Structure 1
């Protein structure tokens, strides 16, 4: 690919490390129920798959009809603590600034609902900088369907074939591929135990943000 028209990012586990707030929320819920705290690693590994996956880790022994009210309580609490501990992954602050200085649009395509996405981006100072943000509740079909990807391109005024998509889950890579974007597998994200970047068959595998920065520089030089 030559110089990209835009770079789009998945949110949780790719652009922003939200796992600390998911972990804190799970343990607040468990503490309120008189239960012991859970370790960080298994919660982190589940975050990219969403709140249902996180709650399945937190309460694997409970039936779905029992877990669902707990999940709603967890989400209400998470909304109130949306950015207590979340942060932009180290190195990506500089990459966003570089894209902006080069006049290259960047945006976010996430399966996270607007209810959580917009306050999080506002808290991190990203809400007014992104050329496009597409959330799960703004489309009829979420990733891995290409619909949200193409909506982001329309909002940013770019052709999908000239864009890059960066994500830390197999569905991100599938969505990017189906949208005809160049895909980057983000190895710094929330990979499950035993999962390999190469399994996703992205165009480029980047184990670290530094790897992505180095690759991006070759495209911009």
Structure 2
């Protein structure tokens, strides 16, 4: 029998919350300062889980080695911080999923590569912070995903063994981090996904919707 599920941990961007619109607006703001027209917001969606590096590469075709990357990154982050919840919303079905997890008397939390100075305000703005048993950002642990540090810290904050957690994410590094932490991994096929097909990630399970995840959880032992 599988280990009981006491806690469900979520990636943030592209899994719990659709942040692509506000991230795309911030990237287009950087383009505007250079006299460039905006890109369609849909162009940013596949890289929205990749942070400033991925978004600026899409917006400007530059990498961190570019001499002006840091300046563009600061401009991007300043704009994003000022507008991080203008159009960002939990994905369809997430509200029902979280309510269902709580009704099952399980805990849920967040582990993201987003820095804490953005994670906290975003969760606050969406009225999620007080409900999460933990919220861990990459800059609060020695190593970001795909290393297991953040997930292990989240489990410790939740007071739950790693083996009794599942991690839900929309990127290959989420699955790798879960495996490294000794957690079951769930690929959120409703998220941003990126270039590598989700069925090649090696996730323990692929779910197509938040409702499908809740249905799966209903069949899992609680302890």
Indicate the TM-score class for this superposition, using the shorter chain for normalisation: over 0.9
Pick the aligned partner of 1:124 from 110, 123, 126: 126
Pick the aligned partner of 1:190 from 189, 192, 211: 192
**4+ long deviations beyond 6 Å:** none
Question: Given that residues 142 and 148 in structure 1 are in contact (C-alpha distance below 8 angstroms), is that contact kept between their aligned partners in structure 2?
Answer: yes
Confirm whether residue 213 of structure 1 aligns to residue 214 of structure 2: yes
The Cα RMSD (Å) is 1.6
1:135 alignment partner in structure 2 = 137
Alignment of 1:160-175 (within 5 A): 160-175=162-177
Q: 1:206: Cα distance to partner? A: 1.1
Structure 1, unaligned runs of 5 or more: none
Instruction: Give CA-to-partner distance per residue, 1:100-119, whole Å, 9 cap, x none.
Output: 12221100000000111000
1:69 alignment partner in structure 2 = 71
Q: 1:72: Cα distance to partner? A: 0.9
TM-score (norm 2): 0.93
Question: Given that residues 187 and 205 in structure 1 are in contact (C-alpha distance below 8 angstroms), is that contact kept between their aligned partners in structure 2?
Answer: yes
1:4 alignment partner in structure 2 = 5
2:42 alignment partner in structure 1 = 41
Find the aligned partners of 1:144 and 1:102 in 2 and give their Cα distance: 29
Question: Given that residues 59 and 67 in structure 1 are in contact (C-alpha distance below 8 angstroms), is that contact kept between their aligned partners in structure 2?
Answer: no
How many matched pairs? 220
Question: Given that residues 43 and 57 in structure 1 are in contact (C-alpha distance below 8 angstroms), is that contact kept between their aligned partners in structure 2?
Answer: yes
TM-score (norm 1): 0.94
